[in-house]
């Protein structure tokens, strides 16, 4: 039993090292540098951050570790004790931030290390190098936050002294600095590494809800710091608030899982259709045209057969990112299924939609797939409705976009085919309106 356990541990350690060594050199340099900075700077530049404490520093540090553990346990209860490798928010940043506000900067290292070790032990499973790198990022972000707090507060340890204005300013500035450094470092990890290995992180960093949740958690940490320095017993009243925050974070996670495609980070088709119906209704109310585009990867089965499904999934992520980068914030993109995508373009007549589709086609054709080094092409079908014929249903327009897509394929693929539903402005009914191909 003992020998098998040792062998399993050794195998896991070897796998972890192999996973890290398989990352690009630039990622390895980033992680090693971050760990070195996290272990050295809080001690070497301790005077730059907070130096005084309102209570015994060891007691405060132990309390933060205890609350971090309690927070993780509440999350496990809310999730039914599931082991999760991609929970969108762990609230661990709150304790690094609070430590930066309340304690001398060297305490950041043990507080973050113990909090992360406990969370990993209790089921948060990500590659070890990512976990250690994440902890290093929080230490660095906490150090910068502590510098900002010290700049505003000076030697004052009570965040609610006077009328509390300077303490509030210190917390807000420190939170902004923490969030900026933290997300900056995570962006580096996400976009220096292979796209296929960072699907979840890239999708999370694109989500506005992540920043809202993270900012809220940091400000709760700031509130805790203010209460701890002004009236410690009131800390007990903060615990239920954290419980509610955990439930809110879990609810957002479940809603996102229901609406977003895990592989690409785009909308699922059912969510897209629901939002597209609402978008169509807004266009009708504003008497604006609207269009739909279907995008399909050409000969993608051959690509999968040649390179394998993992590399194929990586290509889907690249295509999804390219689509996202080429459209407006109000446009809706979904993975329709397999290698097909759909785009709803509000306030866009079919000629403009055709231009957008051509831009998408060219951008995807120019993108180099990260592992295979090859390029892929797409065929695009577009169907647009003018402001004079707003009664056309979404389903009918989707059917026409799909037929336009088949036309593009029949004409040789790697091209755009478009159709428009047009009628004279004074047409009494839809009898005179027809779908016109612009291919």
Q: Read off the pLDDT of residues 340-384 as tens digits, 9 standing for 90 and up.
A: 999 999 999 888 999 999 999 999 999 988 888 889 999 999 999
**Pair (130, 17) in one structural domain:** yes
**Pair (38, 93) in one structural domain:** yes
Per the structure block, which two tokens stand in for 263? 């592989």
**Pair (222, 304) in one structural domain:** no
Per DSSP bridges, beta strands 378-385 and 416-422 are: parallel
Q: Where are the alpha helices (DSSP H) in 308-369?
A: 309-326, 350-366
Q: Hey, is 45 helix, strand or coil?
A: coil
Point out the domain boundary residue: 223, 254, 285.
254
Confidence of residue 425 (pLDDT cuts 50, 70, 90): low
Residue 261 lies in a domain: no
**Pair (16, 104) in one structural domain:** yes
Rounded-to-integer distance, Cα 346 and Cα 327, Å? 11
Q: Hey, is 415 helix, strand or coil?
A: coil
Q: Hey, is 414 helix, strand or coil?
A: coil
Backbone angles phi, psi at 301, to 5 degrees: -60, -40
Residue 320 lies in a domain: yes
Rounded-to-integer distance, Cα 82 and Cα 31, Å? 28
Its pTM stands at 0.62
Residue 174 lies in a domain: yes
Residue 438: DSSP 8-state: -
**Pair (291, 354) in one structural domain:** yes
Residue pLDDT, tens place only, 183-218: 999 999 999 988 767 877 887 888 787 888 889 889
Contacts of 287 (CB under 8 A, 6+ apart): 387, 390
Question: Helix, strand, coil proportions of the chain in percent (round to 5)?
Answer: 65, 10, 25
Quote the mean pLDDT of the chain.
83
Point out the domain boundary residue: 254, 288, 311.
254
Residue 190 lies in a domain: yes
Point out the domain boundary residue: 224, 254, 284.
254
Residue 223 lies in a domain: yes
Domain of residue 281, CATH code: 3.30.70.270
Distances (CA, A) of 209 to 213, 278, 301: 6, 21, 35
**Pair (195, 291) in one structural domain:** no
**Pair (213, 313) in one structural domain:** no
Q: Maximum distance among all alpha carbons in the chain?
A: 85
Alpha-carbon torsion (247, 93, 147, 193), positive or negative: negative
**Pair (9, 37) in one structural domain:** yes
Alpha-carbon torsion (134, 140, 143, 145), positive or negative: negative
Residue 260 lies in a domain: no
**Pair (280, 175) in one structural domain:** no
Q: What is the mean pLDDT of residues 172-178?
A: 97
Q: Residue 5: what pLDDT?
A: 40
Q: Residue 1: what pLDDT?
A: 43
Secondary structure of 66-117 in HEC code, one letter for each residue: HHHHHHHHHHHHHCCCCCECCCCCCCHHHHHHHHHHHCCHHHHHHHHHHHHH
Per DSSP bridges, beta strands 340-346 and 332-337 are: antiparallel
pLDDT at 325 over 70: yes
Residue pLDDT, tens place only, 125-170: 678 899 999 999 999 999 999 999 999 998 888 888 888 899 999 9
Is 324 in contact with 411 (CB distance < 8 Å)?
Answer: no
Confidence of residue 229 (pLDDT cuts 50, 70, 90): confident
**Pair (250, 288) in one structural domain:** no
Residue 259 lies in a domain: no
**Pair (69, 182) in one structural domain:** yes
Residue 222 lies in a domain: yes
**Pair (357, 286) in one structural domain:** yes
Give me the domain span that covers residue 417.
267-437
Number of domains in the chain: 2
Residue pLDDT, tens place only, 265-290: 888 898 899 899 999 988 988 889 99
Confidence of residue 16 (pLDDT cuts 50, 70, 90): low
- For 428, other C-beta atoms within 10 Å of its C-beta total 8
């Amino acid at each position: 039993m003992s020998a098998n356990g040792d062998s399993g541990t050794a195998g896991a350690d070897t796998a972890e090292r192999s996973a890290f060594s398989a990352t690009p050199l630039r990622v390895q340099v980033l992680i090693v540098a971050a760990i070195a900075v996290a272990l050295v700077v809080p001690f070497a530049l301790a005077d730059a951050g907070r130096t005084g404490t309102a209570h015994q520093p060891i007691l405060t540090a132990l309390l933060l570790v205890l609350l971090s553990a309690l927070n993780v346990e509440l999350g496990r209860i809310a999730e039914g004790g599931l082991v999760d490798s991609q929970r969108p928010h762990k609230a661990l940043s709150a304790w690094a931030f609070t430590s930066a506000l309340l304690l001398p900067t060297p305490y950041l290292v043990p507080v973050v290390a113990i909090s992360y070790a406990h969370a990993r032990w209790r089921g948060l499973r990500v590659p070890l190098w990512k976990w250690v790198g994440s902890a290093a990022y929080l230490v660095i972000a906490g150090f910068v936050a502590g510098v900002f707090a010290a700049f505003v507060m000076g030697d004052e340890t009570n965040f609610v002294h006077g009328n509390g204005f300077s303490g509030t300013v210190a917390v807000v500035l420190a939170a902004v600095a923490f969030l900026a450094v933290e997300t900056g470092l995570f962006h580096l990890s996400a976009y220096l590494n292979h796209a296929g290995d960072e699907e979840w992180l890239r999708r999370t960093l694109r989500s506005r809800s992540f920043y809202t949740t993270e900012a809220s958690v940091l400000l709760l940490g700031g509130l805790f710091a203010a209460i701890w320095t002004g009236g410690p017993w009131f800390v007990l009243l903060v615990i239920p608030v954290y419980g509610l925050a955990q439930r809110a974070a879990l609810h957002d996670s479940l809603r996102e899982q229901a609406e977003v495609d895990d592989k690409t980070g785009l909308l699922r088709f059912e969510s897209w259709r629901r939002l597209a119906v609402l978008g169509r209704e807004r266009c009708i109310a504003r008497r604006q045209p609207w269009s739909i585009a279907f995008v399909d990867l050409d000969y993608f089965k051959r690509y999968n057969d040649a390179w394998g499904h993992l590399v194929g999934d990586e290509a889907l992520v690249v295509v999804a990112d390219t689509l996202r980068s080429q459209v407006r914030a109000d446009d809706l993109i979904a993975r329709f299924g397999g290698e097909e995508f759909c785009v709803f373009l509000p306030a866009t007549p079919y000629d403009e939609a055709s231009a957008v589709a051509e831009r998408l086609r060219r951008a995807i054709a120019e993108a180099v797939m990260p592992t295979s080094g090859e390029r892929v092409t797409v065929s695009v079908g577009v169907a647009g409705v003018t402001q004079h014929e707003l009664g056309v249903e979404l389903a009918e327009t989707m059917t026409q976009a799909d037929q336009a897509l088949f036309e593009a394929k029949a004409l040789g693929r790697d091209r755009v085919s478009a159709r428009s539903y047009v009628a004279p402005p004074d047409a009494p009914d839809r009898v005179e309106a027809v779908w016109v191909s612009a291919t």
